[in-house]
């Protein structure tokens, strides 16, 4: 594993991301005693569904998110049935399903992940503020194919450790960044799928220029995913032009009266060829 080095020291995140990361650390500590059992259960599982290959195609691939609430919007769809919602997304053409498992601010759970993973035939992602290997074991046992790793939330030694754990137990990763320095860290640990979040999770401010600016710097062999701020097909023009392979969409489709139709509209946007990798 290539080590990341920088003259700029890592600092613990502040704002909303800092709060959620601290809470995740406490949740991870509370289940540390389950590591042995979860590890044993992982050994008996069949291979997870492949993720990265599903994000290549003539159209922008849609990663559709099951999301009841968020810190920025509050309640989005509090009565949402995770299994039914995910099934509608798949009928609409979603390539993968992202499931929020953070309980306090997003209203999610591992039970949602387990139910969705059992109900659909596409890869599922545990989307949370993961900080410890035990949380990856939980995700694998719940049926996930993928875990989200947020570079800003992870110290330089944490990110490679979690990447190694993921590989050992057969999970793929969606490694999330928001600037060039974080892209360097993602590349240093061998990320195969990199998401660029238009939302600064510390301040919750969205800058829709972030993904279009950074995706061209992701090498073409690596999947580039645009995240946040996407509400309608016209919002896909900029990430598509930048060479994105996929988009992750949550609030707009979770709140939609017809999630199948909402996803189908997004999944019909053509992917554009672009030269990438100019970091």
Annotated catalytic residue within 228, 251, 254, 256: 228
Instruction: Evaluate whether 188 touches 2 at the Cβ level (below 8 Å).
Output: yes
Active site residue 217: no
Residue 131 CB coordination number (10 Å): 22
Q: Can you list the positions of beta strands (E) in the chain?
A: 61-66, 69-70, 74-75, 96-100, 124-127, 146-150, 172-177, 193-197, 223-227, 246-249
Annotated catalytic residue within 102, 138, 176, 260: 176
Instruction: Evaluate whether 146 touches 96 at the Cβ level (below 8 Å).
Output: yes
Active site residue 184: no
Distance CA 40, CA 151 (A): 28
Annotated catalytic residue within 102, 172, 182, 227: 227
Active site residue 127: yes
Annotated catalytic residue within 98, 197, 198, 256: 197
- Distance from the Cα of residue 27 to its chain's centroid: 19
Active site residue 176: yes
Active site residue 260: no
Q: Can you list the positions of beta strands (E) in 117-271?
A: 124-127, 146-150, 172-177, 193-197, 223-227, 246-249
Active site residue 182: no
Distance CA 279, CA 276 (A): 9
Annotated catalytic residue within 70, 98, 127, 260: 127
Annotated catalytic residue within 65, 102, 138, 182: 65
Active site residue 197: yes
Token pair of 159, please? 């990110």
- β 74-75/69-70 pair status: antiparallel
Write out the catalytic residue numbers.
Answer: 65, 67, 127, 176, 197, 227-228
């Amino acid at each position: 594993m290539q080590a990341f080095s920088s003259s700029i020291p890592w600092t613990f995140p502040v704002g909303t991301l800092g709060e959620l990361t601290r809470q995740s650390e406490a949740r991870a500590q509370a289940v540390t005693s389950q590591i042995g059992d979860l590890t044993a259960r992982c050994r008996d599982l069949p291979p997870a569904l492949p993720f990265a290959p599903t994000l290549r195609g003539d159209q922008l691939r849609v990663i559709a998110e099951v999301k009841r609430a968020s810190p920025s919007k509050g309640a989005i769809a509090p009565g949402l049935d995770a299994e039914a919602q995910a099934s509608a997304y798949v009928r609409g053409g979603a390539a993968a399903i992202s499931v929020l498992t953070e309980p306090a601010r997003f209203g999610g759970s591992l039970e949602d992940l387990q139910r969705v993973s059992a109900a659909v035939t596409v890869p599922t992602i545990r989307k949370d503020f993961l900080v410890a290997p035990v949380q990856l074991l939980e995700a694998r046992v719940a049926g996930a194919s993928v875990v989200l790793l947020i570079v800003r939330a992870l110290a330089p030694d944490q990110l490679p450790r979690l990447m190694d754990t993921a590989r050992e137990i057969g999970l793929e990763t969606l490694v999330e960044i928001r600037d060039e320095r974080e892209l360097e860290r993602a590349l240093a640990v061998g990320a195969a799928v990199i998401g660029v979040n238009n939302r600064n999770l510390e301040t919750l401010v969205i800058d829709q220029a972030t993904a279009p600016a950074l995706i061209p710097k992701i090498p073409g062999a690596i999947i580039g995913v645009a995240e946040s701020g996407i509400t309608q097909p016209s919002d896909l023009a900029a990430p598509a032009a930048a060479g994105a392979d996929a988009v992750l969409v949550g609030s707009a489709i979770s709140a939609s009266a017809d999630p199948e139709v909402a996803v189908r509209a997004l999944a019909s946007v053509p992917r554009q060829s672009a030269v990438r990798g100019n970091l």
